[in-house]
Amino acid sequence: MTKPLKPQTQIVKLNKLKQHEEVDPAHLKELKEEIHSDKILKFAIIVDKNTNVILDGQHRFNAIRELGCKRIPVVYVDYNSPAIEVQSWKGNPHLTKKDVIEAGLSGRKFLPKTSKHMVWIGDSLLHISAIEKRVDIPLEKLR
């Protein structure tokens, strides 16, 4: 059993963060409209604390940016932790954490939904969104 993650949420400037995947324009449009209508961001995104590469939440990041916000709530994790695994939505068995970080740092992004991040919580392997904090932060506080 791996050491449990202790996620903390903090507000971070968008320009500090790095994307490793492109976004799906249709999903981005839908999400942006939902966030604009709700006037709140419901969930924080997941980011590697060592590199500022976004692991989960590329669409939320882009929607918030397009809505004129300068900050976003982030749950920082140590991507080197054995509690976090990377898989591929598209069945690429060779995708590694190193690939994800290189894509984020180089700016050569993967296609949408290339990586799927999973986290061990106890004896269960769950999608990393399981540790995202519900934040319900008004957009005005993120501008």
The secondary structure of residue 21, as a DSSP letter, is B
Mean residue pLDDT across the chain? 93
Residue 4: band (very low, low, confident or very high) from pLDDT cuts 50, 70, 90: very low
Alpha helices in 39-122 (DSSP H): 58-66, 97-106
pLDDT digits (tens, 9 = 90+) for 101-137: 999 999 999 999 899 999 999 999 999 999 998 999 9
CB 63 within 8 A of CB 82: no
Digit-coded pLDDT (tens) for 57-75:
999 999 999 999 999 999 9
Average pLDDT in the 46-62 region?
97
* Residue 53 vs residues 3, 28, 31, 97: alpha-carbon distances, Å: 22, 19, 21, 11
Q: What residues does each domain of the chain span? A: 9-142
Reply yes or no on domain 9-142 having CATH 3.10.270.10.
Answer: no
- Burial of residue 102 (CB within 10 Å: 0-12, 13-18, 19+) is middle
**Averaged pLDDT for residues 35-55:** 97
Return d(Cα 100, Cα 79) in angstroms, integer. Answer: 10
Q: How many CA atoms lie within 13 A of 11 on its CB side?
A: 13
By the 8 A CB rule, do 112 and 61 touch? no
Tell me the pTM. 0.93
Give the mean pLDDT of 75-80. Answer: 96
21 in catalytic set:
yes
Residues whose CB falls within 8 Å of the CB of residue 27, separated by 6 or more in sequence, listed in order: 59, 112
